[in-house]
Amino acid sequence: MRGRALVLVAALLLQLLLLAAAGGAGAAATERKAHNYEDALRKSLLYFEAQRSGRLPHNQRVAWRDHSGLTDGLEQGVDLVGGYYDAGDHVKFGLPMAFTVTMLSWSMIEYGDDVEAAGELGHALEAIKWGTDYFIKAHTKPNELWAEVGDGDTDHYCWQRPEDMTTSRQAYKVDREQPGSDVAGETAAAMAAASIVFRKSNPHYASLLLHHAQQLFEFADRYRGKYDSSIAEVKSYYASVSGYKDELLWAALWLHRATGKAHYLDYVVDNADCFGGTGWAITEFSWDVKYAGVQILAARLLLRGEHEERHRSTLEQYRAKAEHYVCGCLGRNADGGADANVERSPGGMLYVRQWNNMQYVTNAAFLLAAYADYLGDDADGAVSCAGGETAGAGEVAALARAQVDYVLGTNPRGISYLVGYGAKYPNRVHHRAASIVPYKHSKEFIGCTQGFDHWFGRRSSNPNVLVGAIVGGPDRRDRFRDNRENYMQTEACTYNTAPMVGMFAKLNRMARQEREQEEVAAPARSTAADV
């Protein structure tokens, strides 16, 4: 008996040694694949400084940029200096700019403590305020909002630095006669969300933002209409395909979160059916199509019990549609046909469409992560998919992280689509300012055609690295061509990076916790190996 026991002990010790060795190898493999989310966070916030329009501050860190657009609004008798260029051109489009600020603010609302822990709170607040300061200027009357500066057609005929701009700076507005419920609603959402962010650090500013948000929502709701019907110049660039009803629901939810006033939630519940909030089953979320975001925000209220009993049944319908989106990303909707799930590339990237697909990837990652966190408060903690399948909160969170890691280089090409991060990233980003010698180094004027002739067609890397930009990214087969002319893949947009601010901060905290757990577990494995 004793001999048999010794054999069993020896076998057990051998098994422990093998497990310890496997654990060590696994840890080493994980370490090799680990991403520096803190570095990614720092770089993502730098990108917004590169996109600034207006008079740059003394603490501007992106030194290859200088003042630009200093006469914006002058012809119309209004000060429209400031704000952000949306991508690689120099038009200030109000709808995607507002969505960018909403997502930056949502990032801070959910993961602001993580941003602060990484030492980036100040830069994140500056990124939001650069946008909201501009929206305050653009909201010149209760029922008037300047929604665009510059003309996309003339702008695209030029390849110039923003400091040399010779293109039209015509400004366009929406008002009672020419409504724009979508752009006014999204701007209301941005200012309401930002008011939550600034409530502690700058309460006076937060109150000002909330005042503007409430006025803009009333304007958007009272004078309904699509902004691209009022501003024809925007149709070729940022047409409101989904209409304005999703923005009205979206704005109302953000105002409810900012104020706690029941009538905003009543609005979301009362209009749930006629505005499509509980009708549309969507598998994308973007600057145009907000329904998935609306549904997830509404589901949060249900999961956290922040509602009255009369709201419950409608919020449950919102949650069902929110989970359709989540399950669609997971590929778990067994019912609903081919469009019920999001396509995946061979490398695992969520694929929605050819042009700037990364916007759908980064926004999906954020929604999935946020919803997984909301589910953590639910006793069941699971998602119910069409056709009977389910998924746990952990699986939802894992998919979100996998999408972020894909962006950072865990993909078949081993390329980071966050410019400036890692050893390999796009060097020929479709971006006028980044692709031309910096104004501070060469103040010699560069005209429209001169920019095309001397800079656009160059095969060499851009002279300026657009750090923190997330480019359009690869196609459905994970193929990517780093070419300035390939704007569908190499142009970056502010709304690609905005949701990643929150994701990088969250994952940085998670990675730190994992390292701490690994440090605690290592002595235990060592002890087992020594036995």
pLDDT of res. 235: 92
Question: Are 152 and 99 a contacting pair, CB within 8 Å?
Answer: no
Torsion sign over Cα 234, 236, 237, 243: positive
Weakly modelled stretches of the chain, pLDDT under 70: 1-33, 377-380, 524-531
pLDDT of res. 430: 98
Question: Which one is catalytic: 430, 431, 441, 454?
Answer: 430
Tokens describing residue 332? 């778990």
Question: Are 110 and 370 a contacting pair, CB within 8 Å?
Answer: yes
Measure the CA dihedral 253/255/260/265, to 10°: -40
Name the packing angle between helices 245-259 and 181-198 (round to 10°). 20
Is pTM beyond 0.75 here? yes
Tokens describing residue 99? 């969505």
Pairing state between β 343-344 and 350-351: antiparallel
Q: For residue 389, give the 3-state DSSP assignment.
A: coil
- In 470-493, where does DSSP find H-type helix? 487-490
pLDDT of res. 154: 87
Residue 134 to residue 99: CA distance in whole angstroms: 14
Phi, psi of 433 (to 5 degrees): -65, -40
The reply to whether 430 belongs to the active site is yes
Question: Are 270 and 248 a contacting pair, CB within 8 Å?
Answer: no
Question: Are 372 and 393 a contacting pair, CB within 8 Å?
Answer: yes
Q: Does domain 37-511 have CATH number 3.10.20.340?
A: no
Task: Choose among 81, 497, 310: nearest CA to 301.
Answer: 310
Tell me the pLDDT tens digit for each residue of 176-221.
999 999 999 999 999 999 999 999 999 999 999 999 999 999 999 9
Q: Residue 62 is which amino acid? A: V
Tell me the pLDDT tens digit for each residue of 96-120.
999 999 999 999 999 999 999 999 9
Phi, psi of 68 (to 5 degrees): -160, 160
Task: Choose among 37, 127, 45, 114: nearest CA to 373.
Answer: 114
pLDDT of res. 22: 33
How many CA within 13 A on the CB side of residue 191? 28
pLDDT of res. 25: 31
pLDDT of res. 336: 84
Name the packing angle between helices 245-259 and 203-222 (round to 10°). 150
pLDDT of res. 27: 32
Contacts of 119 (CB under 8 A, 6+ apart): none
pLDDT of res. 314: 98
pLDDT of res. 531: 57
pLDDT of res. 530: 62
Q: What strand order describes the sheet that includes 92-93?
A: 92-93, 145-149, 171-174
* Number of helices and strands in the chain (H, E): 19, 7
H or E segment to which residue 147 belongs: strand 145-149
Neighbours of 309 (CB within 10 A): 6
Task: Choose among 142, 151, 153: nearest CA to 172.
Answer: 151
